[in-house]
Amino acid sequence: GAVVSQHPSWVICKSGTSVKIECRSLDFQATTMFWYRQFPKQSLMLMATSNEGSKATYEQGVEKDKFLINHASLTLSTLTVTSAHPEDSSFYICSARDGGNVETQYFGPGTRLLVL
C-alpha cells in the first residue's frame, strides 16, 4: 500500500516551453501533497504544499507564477513549470500524506527535467 506515482519520469524540453508533472496517490486519498526540488547530492527543498480543493502554499523564494500547482482531486496533484529555462533543470519529487496516517509522507519516484 501507500504508493505514489509520478509522470513523466524523465522529460527534456526546449527553453520557453511549459512542462506538466503529475503526482498520483494510487491506493489512498491524499488531502495534502508536497512538491520538492532536489539538486544532485543535495537534500530535498520543499517548494510548495498542495491541498485538495484550495490554493497551494508556496515556500519563500518559490515563484508561484513559475511553478503552477493544481490539486484537483484527492489522488492527483500537478506541477506545471511555465516558460522553462535551463536553470529549472532539476529533479522534482512529490509526496503525499495519507489522511489516515498523517505523520507519514510517501514519496513518488521523481521526475528528472532537463531544459535545453
Partner 1 sequence: AQTVTQSQPEMSVQEAETVTLSCTYDTSENNYYLFWYKQPPSRQMILVIRQEAYKQQNATENRFSVNFQKAAKSFSLKISDSQLGDTAMYFCAFMTLYGNKLVFGAGTILRVKS
Residues that bind partner 1 (CB under 8 A): 32, 34, 38, 41-44, 46, 49, 91, 93, 95, 97, 103-107, 109-110
Phi, psi of 95 (to 5 degrees): -140, 160
Angle formed at CA 104 by CA 100 and CA 110, multiple of 5 degrees: 115
Is 82 or 99 the residue whose CB approaches partner 1 more closely?
Answer: 99
Q: Which of 9, 18 has the CB closer to partner 1? A: 9
Closest CB to partner 1 among residues 36, 75: 36
77 near 70, Cβ under 8 Å? yes
